[in-house]
């Protein structure tokens, strides 16, 4: 079966990217700045707007908006993953060594990523909620405000969420969000 990706220039996309074998390496103190640098490096070469992001120990979610004349998010992800992989291998010994196509290489990421093209404003808002509530869903924080690796704090500063959002009662996220 051939997998077809949605590609619309200037589109807004939700992504899920997972580490190989769900290794808990992304939130290690020495790896967080490397991941930030990977995004910065890539955005300087292939601009995009990072609408929202959450970094969890073994995966990340984000929403990007691409430039109006560009639909190539795959190149961006390739650059981010390879930048992080090259530098991460020097700062952590938790990486898995694997053999692919007869080559011995360090494996940091699952080979693919999952994307969903945002359809409308409601879909956009639901995916933002999914991203920002994800640390609570995974039991990593009691409330979104307690998780440091999230754009939630930027949204609170911009008055798009109250600071106690998701802390007083569970947030109802539709089952099809994040796993369409």
Would you give the distance in Å from CA 163 to the centre of its chain?
22
The active-site residue, picked from 13, 130, 149, 155, is 149
The DSSP result for 121-180, as a single string, is HHHHHHHHHHHHHHHHHTTS-SSGGG-SSBTHHHHHHTTSS-TTTTTSS-----TTTT--
Beta carbons within 8 Å of 134's beta carbon, 6+ residues apart? 54, 56, 61, 178
149 is a catalytic site residue: yes
Residues designated as active site: 149
């Amino acid at each position: 079966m051939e997998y077809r990706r949605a590609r619309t220039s200037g589109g807004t996309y939700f992504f899920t990217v997972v580490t190989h074998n769900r290794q808990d390496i992304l939130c290690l103190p020495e790896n967080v700045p490397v991941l930030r640098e990977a995004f910065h490096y890539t955005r300087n070469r292939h601009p995009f707007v990072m609408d929202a992001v959450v970094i969890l120990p073994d995966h990340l979610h984000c929403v990007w908006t691409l430039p109006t004349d560009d639909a190539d998010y795959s190149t961006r992800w390739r650059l981010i993953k390879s930048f992080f992989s090259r530098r991460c291998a020097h700062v952590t010994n938790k990486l898995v060594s694997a053999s692919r196509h007869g080559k011995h290489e360090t494996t940091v990421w699952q080979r693919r990523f999952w994307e969903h093209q945002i359809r409308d404003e409601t879909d956009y808002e639901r995916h933002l909620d999914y991203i920002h509530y994800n640390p609570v869903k995974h039991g990593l924080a009691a409330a979104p405000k307690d998780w440091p690796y999230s754009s939630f704090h930027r949204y609170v500063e911009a008055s798009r969420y109250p600071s106690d959002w998701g802390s007083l009662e569970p947030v109802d996220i539709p089952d099809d969000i994040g796993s369409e």
